[in-house]
Chains A and B, each alone.
Chain A
Amino acid sequence: KAGVTQTPRYLIKTRGQQVTLSCSPISGHRSVSWYQQTPGQGLQFLFEYFSETQRNKGNFPGRFSGRQFSNSRSEMNVSTLELGDSALYLCASRGSLETQYFGPGTRLLVL
């Protein structure tokens, strides 16, 4: 099976812009979670989607949002970008077992 894919891999934006990141889970997996990784805060949970519904949400401002489509692909959106949003954004998919499989990440740089 193909692994989790994320696009784009790298992104440069300026403050105030918005950005959309995409994640395609492993075939057959219905749960997709998003995480933010920064040197200062480490890995933090953003949200989780299952069957197109947000099931869990982390402690991030409303500028961070996401959605999931009927084919389980997921997108996350960050509006009004701030310098502190520069991070590696990772998505993970999960099937019927507990293991979460991560994609390669999207590295976002906000200037």
Chain B
Amino acid sequence: SQQGEEDPQALSIQEGENATMNCSYKTSINNLQWYRQNSGRGLVHLILIRSNEREKHSGRLRVTLDTSKKSSSLLITASRAADTASYFCATDATGNNRLAFGKGNQVVVIP
């Protein structure tokens, strides 16, 4: 299976609720990045967490990284309809910009 693989779930939540997505990977990494994609458009970078970091926040986003379990989670708090998108995690295992992406998690936020 692929490096950087999200739990294959589609989330449907009400506006205001929190959304959590998970990602697992198989090899050692330099960093892990989360991206958002709306309707097959370009990827928007959300947050990067380095291998020596355990948690990072950016606005309503919280990312955790557990290198012992080779997993990461993305939490979106107080979701909004505009958060409706596909979310991808991507790992940089070599430090040479070769990102390995997961399959993506589709999140639908119902107004």
Residue numbers of A with Cβ under 8 A of B are: 4, 31, 33, 35, 37, 42-45, 48, 55-56, 58, 88, 90, 92, 94, 98-105, 107
Which of A42, A98, A103, A105 is the one whose CB lies under 8 Å from B101? A42
Flag whether B30 is at the interface (Cβ < 8 A): yes
The answer to whether B43 touches A45 (Cβ under 8 A) is no
8 contacts between A and B (CB under 8 A): A4-B42, A43-B90, A45-B99, A98-B33, A99-B33, A99-B45, A102-B43, A104-B41
- Chain A residue numbers with a CB within 8 Å of B45 are 99-102
- Chain A residue numbers with a CB within 8 Å of B2 are 42
Residue of A nearest to B41 (CB): A104
Closest 7 CB pairs of A and B: A43-B101, A102-B43, A104-B42, A102-B42, A56-B98, A48-B97, A105-B42
- State whether A105 and B97 are in contact (beta carbons under 8 Å apart), knowing that A99-B33, A100-B33 are contacts in the complex: no
Within 8 A of A (CB), among B86-106: 88, 90, 92, 95-104
CA distance A35 to B99 in the complex (A): 9
Residue numbers of B with Cβ under 8 A of A are: 2, 30-31, 33, 35, 40-45, 48, 50, 88, 90, 92, 95-104
- Chain B residue numbers with a CB within 8 Å of A58 are 98
Which of B31, B43, B103 is the one whose CB lies under 8 Å from A90? B43
Residue of A nearest to B43 (CB): A102
CA distance A39 to B86 in the complex (A): 13
CA distance A43 to B104 in the complex (A): 9
The answer to whether B96 touches A56 (Cβ under 8 A) is yes
The answer to whether B42 touches A103 (Cβ under 8 A) is yes
The answer to whether A100 touches B42 (Cβ under 8 A) is no
CA distance A83 to B101 in the complex (A): 23
CA distance A101 to B99 in the complex (A): 12
- Chain B residue numbers with a CB within 8 Å of A105 are 40-42
- Chain A residue numbers with a CB within 8 Å of B100 are 45
- Chain B residue numbers with a CB within 8 Å of A101 are 45
Residue of B nearest to A97 (CB): B48
A86 to chain B, nearest CB (A): 12
